[in-house]
Chain A
């Protein structure tokens, strides 16, 4: 293995395992362009019949939430139980 990888862009791979299901992120790989990334995704992630559709996205095009934002992003949702439907009592006459 050479040091080529440091020059090749990184791609994220999403595989749909069955028709009707969603594409799921399965991993990433290095490739020079989209066509090559597609081939390597096929060779690396679908060789045991794992999928029927592949998406690839340049990792650089993904905008990720930052770990340091976690407190302000996600913690406030923890104490708002009323956002879950199970919080509400369903009136008797609505029940089946």
Chain B
């Protein structure tokens, strides 16, 4: 097994699952019925993506852990998702701006992962890039609607962007795992990814009358399992059934 490939795949899977879990909290609470269905659709896409990635991580690890073991029996410190995904859903502007930033990231990341020398990741990416392209279209529209909408919607969207921006640096962090994956042609280079991401998010934010915060203090730690105080509560809810009834299956 390749320890770095396991770690890298886990990062991708955890990002998708925790983002999907947070988004699914809107199911039944959307601002109106049509958007409720739309948000839940995106959440399901992300959870489906996480299943493929975690199943593959389990295969790479070779210790007999499946997607459910990785999703439901790992404790907080073993999770590798970036912090931005675990932040509480906040108001609709916060959820939408976060999803917009992540959709733009995923759109660029998975487009490059289609060319990965790891055939399984490239296959998963082929499907994911189409999903993220649609997600981005949906959240991009909403960012414009909120930012360039009413004074109140602009205020909320700007506040969300101010709060979220410091967490985006973590998406482009490099460490030995990332470097090894890049060297093997499995992962795209973070530097070019960041440039492409900025190029994707800046024009819509500008059109939406939203200002990108200047110097911010980057928030980091997720890749090392150092999570925010919100992560434990999220896991408690997500893992409850498997913790209470270990090994139960549908």
Contact = CB atoms under 8 A, between A and B. Distances in A.
A44 B32 contact: no
B31 A43 contact: no
Contacts, number: 37
Interface in A43-86: 43-44, 47
Contacts of B134: 42
A4 to B, nearest CB: 5
Interface in B26-51: 30-38, 41
B30 A1 contact: yes
B173 interface: no
B156 interface: no
B41 A4 contact: no
A29 B34 contact: yes
B131 to A, nearest CB: 12
Contacts of A30: 32-34
Interface stretch (B75-83, B94-102, B137-145, B204-212): B137-145
Contacts of A42: 134
Nearest to A5: B32
A91 interface: no
B141 A1 contact: no
A44 B35 CA distance: 10
A8 B41 contact: no
Interface in A1-15: 1-2, 4-5, 8
Nearest to B29: A1
Nearest to A36: B141
Contacts of A43: 34, 37-38, 41
Contacts of A5: 32-33
Contact of A1 (B32, B41, B137): B32
Contact of B31 (A4, A40, A44): A4
12 contacts: A1-B30, A1-B31, A1-B33, A5-B32, A5-B33, A8-B32, A31-B34, A39-B137, A40-B34, A40-B35, A40-B38, A43-B37
Given A30-B33, A31-B34, A40-B34, 14 more contacts: A1-B31, A4-B32, A5-B32, A8-B32, A29-B34, A30-B32, A30-B34, A36-B141, A36-B145, A39-B38, A39-B138, A42-B134, A43-B37, A47-B41
- Sort A-B residue pairs by CB-CB distance and give the 6 closest, nearest first: A40-B34, A43-B38, A4-B32, A43-B41, A29-B34, A43-B37
